Copies of this chain bind each other. A is one copy, B any other.
């Protein structure tokens, strides 16, 4: 029997918050279909979501306990969570892959006028076949689906102390791994070996698994931050960036570190310092009640006033049961920043031309400002 990651009270508190948001949004229930949303409400944690074969459903009513409508292969694991109403079918079934069981469950639990929220807005997707969704829509009429993104977003965005502790733990694991950089990377090592050793080191320090690694190494900054490793060897003059979303108990860290392979150019050093200082600005200035675009503005202005050019794209985001969560620090995101949000600060800036650098820290927003969850990077990036 697996030890539960959180006590039942943690999940009941989440459900109560979801139900409060449902009431405000005029929704009678929520239909959840993704690994993150279902884990968040139930504690059901498995890497089996890697298989696209089967849909999984959790129906959370506006009052009362959630009902899991899932493939029978998951029954044993779900029965170890706090969820007691578990309905299963033998999936995958090419004739009816849970459609009639989900429809019957909705029919049983919700009145004819019910409006069921499902996350269908920004940064969401419905993890079930679209044809099946359309079929369920017909079967459950006159009940109807509506966008439930705001309900899930506003609930998941604000973390409990138990969640914050989990994120701090995985941040510590990644910090210890970055401290071992001299065992992972030195001039002459190929980048794919660096990536492999980095992941193995994260595991060795206690990560359950490593869902995300990216990195780059080239002179004067890098061209992108999402590439997989190449066989190219690290060379003197490279800036090496490693970024990880490692996982412990279902919670992610998401931060990078830059390392210099030999002494950096003045331009690289100056850009790195500006990124660090702009992050410091945000660590001082960010407060609950500001908007996501304020965080973007603070970081952008922080770079500009140190005479480096900010890159486009977002400069931070939420973090928790997925690698990135709402909100996004862009000029357009007006999400209110609230106490208890776990966020990344991720300014990026060009180095004299097209290459760039990114610097990232993870924080929790407290009433009096950010509290670091990562151990702050040194202002001068380490030379390896």
Contacts and interface: CB of A to CB of B under 8 A. Distances in A.
A268 B132 CA distance: 40
B93 A332 contact: yes
10 contacts: A50-B323, A74-B226, A77-B226, A77-B227, A94-B333, A124-B130, A129-B149, A199-B199, A199-B209, A209-B213
SS class, residues of chain A in contact with chain B = loop
Interface stretch (A22-30, A57-65, A175-183, A310-318): A310-318
A324 interface: yes
Bin chain A's interface residue count. Answer: 35 or more
Interface of A: 1-3, 34, 36, 45-48, 50-55, 72-77, 90, 92-95, 97, 118, 120-131, 133, 147, 149, 192, 195-197, 199-200, 203-204, 206-214, 223-231, 245, 312-314, 317, 322-324, 328, 330, 332-334
Contacts of A195: 208
Contacts of A120: 129-131
A93 B129 CA distance: 25
Nearest to A192: B208
A229 B50 CA distance: 16
B228 A208 contact: yes
Nearest to A147: B131
B73 A226 contact: yes
Given A204-B200, A332-B94, A323 B51 contact: yes
Contacts of A147: 131
Given A50-B245, A122-B92, A214-B48, A231 B199 contact: no
Contact of A73 (B122, B197, B225, B332): B225
A122 B118 contact: no
Given A1-B230, A200-B204, 5 more contacts: A3-B231, A50-B323, A72-B312, A120-B131, A123-B129
Nearest to A201: B200
Among A130, A149, A317, which residue has the most Cβ atoms of chain B within 10 A? A130
Contacts of A50: 211-212, 245, 322-323
Contacts of A55: 125
